[in-house]
């Protein structure tokens, strides 16, 4: 069984508590010791409670260490949460001007009780924008990219429940509820047709992707018409089979990747694909 506990960190100089926390007994890991290690740079983990860390640093600079008091130990986590809430309320929080604690929430559920002031939001925004962002002007190393890619491949998505699937079917069947109508306009500004969505327009007009249509409509731009390129299909021995109107037609009827066909006719790869040879109509 897991054992949970509530602890208090005390300032031996001012003889007052400055933090109340909750931990879980695990081999080789003591929650209240992590605060000291983080403050001293011995251990690195995410902790944005700078008031607590600065208080610990100040105590250490003055030749002392925070005192730890274990208040309760139990296998019931709910009891531990309730005790944490009780103690934080009893001692009071500095950020609320009600006491000495550097806690940034009322306890019980991690950071769920924290409310950021408008000034805090502004400072956080400035800290992570532009040059304040730790990745500003940098690129991930190839090794880091491989690690992120490998992690994404083994990540198991959380499956939808049958109840939620039914809700999606009823609430947004075929994406119609969230689709944005698109107007097709000629170069004089006359409306030609209203489409239920950019995807529907792209499919009917023979575009390989709907994103260009959506981007033009969103930015009030015009998409220049492009004539579809005829593509000839041959057997591997060079016997003519069929002439196709576009790459998209090949994709729909033969279920072949139109991007691969595009690379073939651009001479970026060998002309054999899907058991056939491919070439533009003008290239025999």
- pTM here? 0.40
Q: How many domains does the chain have?
A: 3
Q: Report helix, strand or coil for 62.
A: coil
Q: Is residue 108 part of a domain?
A: yes
Per-residue pLDDT of the chain (284 residues; tens, 9 = 90+): 688 899 999 999 889 999 998 888 877 667 777 777 777 776 565 666 788 888 888 888 888 888 999 999 998 888 888 899 999 999 999 888 899 999 888 887 654 445 667 887 888 788 778 877 778 888 888 888 888 888 777 766 777 788 878 877 777 666 666 678 888 887 777 888 888 888 888 888 877 677 778 777 777 655 555 555 678 888 888 888 888 877 778 877 888 887 787 777 777 677 788 888 888 775 44
Strand locations in 148-246 (E): 182-185, 191-195, 231-234, 240-244
Q: Is residue 250 part of a domain?
A: yes
- Say whether both 195 and 276 belong to one domain: no
User: What gap in Å lies between CA 97 and CA 102, rounded to an integer?
Assistant: 10
- Say whether both 9 and 113 belong to one domain: yes
Q: Is residue 175 part of a domain?
A: no
From residue 100, alpha-carbon distances to 11, 30, 31, 49 in Å are: 10, 24, 21, 14
- The domain of 256 spans 231-280
CATH classification of the domain holding 103: 3.40.1440
- Say whether both 186 and 256 belong to one domain: no
Q: What angle do CA 146, 152, 153 make, to 5 degrees?
A: 90
- Say whether both 122 and 8 belong to one domain: yes
- Say whether both 12 and 99 belong to one domain: yes
Return the sign of the alpha-carbon dihedral for residues 104, 107, 111, 112. Answer: negative
Q: Is residue 77 part of a domain?
A: yes
- Please classify residue 115 by burial: count the beta carbons closer than 10 Å to its beta carbon, then call 0-12 exposed, 13-18 middle and 19+ buried: exposed
- Say whether both 240 and 211 belong to one domain: no
- Say whether both 15 and 94 belong to one domain: yes
Q: Are 195 and 181 in contact (CB under 8 A)?
A: yes
Q: Are 221 and 229 in contact (CB under 8 A)?
A: no
- Say whether both 105 and 78 belong to one domain: yes
Q: Is residue 174 part of a domain?
A: no
- Which residues have CB under 8 Å from 15's CB, separation 6+? none
Q: Is residue 80 part of a domain?
A: yes
Q: Is residue 40 part of a domain?
A: yes
**Among 87, 110, 126, which residue terminates a domain?**
126
- Please classify residue 42 by burial: count the beta carbons closer than 10 Å to its beta carbon, then call 0-12 exposed, 13-18 middle and 19+ buried: exposed
């Amino acid at each position: 069984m897991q054992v949970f506990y509530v602890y208090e960190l005390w300032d031996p100089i001012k003889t007052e508590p400055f933090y109340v926390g909750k931990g879980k007994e695990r081999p080789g890991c003591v929650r209240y010791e992590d605060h000291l290690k983080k403050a001293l740079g011995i251990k690195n983990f995410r902790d944005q409670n700078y008031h607590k860390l600065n208080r610990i640093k100040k105590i250490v600079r003055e030749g002392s260490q925070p005192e730890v008091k274990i208040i309760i130990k139990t296998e019931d986590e709910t009891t531990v949460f309730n005790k944490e809430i009780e103690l934080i309320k009893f001692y009071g929080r500095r950020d609320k001007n009600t006491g000495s604690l550097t806690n940034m929430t009322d306890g019980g559920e991690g950071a769920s009780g924290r409310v950021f002031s408008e000034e805090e939001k502004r400072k956080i925004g400035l800290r992570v924008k532009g040059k304040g962002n730790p990745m500003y002007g940098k690129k991930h190393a190839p090794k880091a990219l491989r690690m992120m890619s490998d992690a994404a491949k083994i990540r198991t998505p959380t499956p939808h429940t049958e109840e939620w699937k039914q809700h999606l079917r009823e609430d947004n069947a075929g994406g119609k509820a969230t689709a944005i109508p698109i107007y097709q306009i000629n170069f004089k500004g006359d409306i030609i047709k209203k489409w239920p969505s950019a995807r529907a327009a792209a499919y009917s007009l023979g575009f390989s992707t709907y994103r260009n249509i959506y981007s033009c409509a969103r930015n009030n731009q015009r998409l220049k018409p492009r004539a579809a390129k005829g593509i000839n299909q041959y057997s591997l021995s060079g016997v003519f089979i069929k002439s196709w109107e576009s790459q998209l037609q090949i994709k729909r009827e033969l279920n072949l990747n139109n991007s691969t066909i595009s690379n073939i006719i651009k001479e970026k790869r060998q002309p054999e694909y899907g058991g056939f040879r491919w070439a533009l109509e003008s290239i025999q």
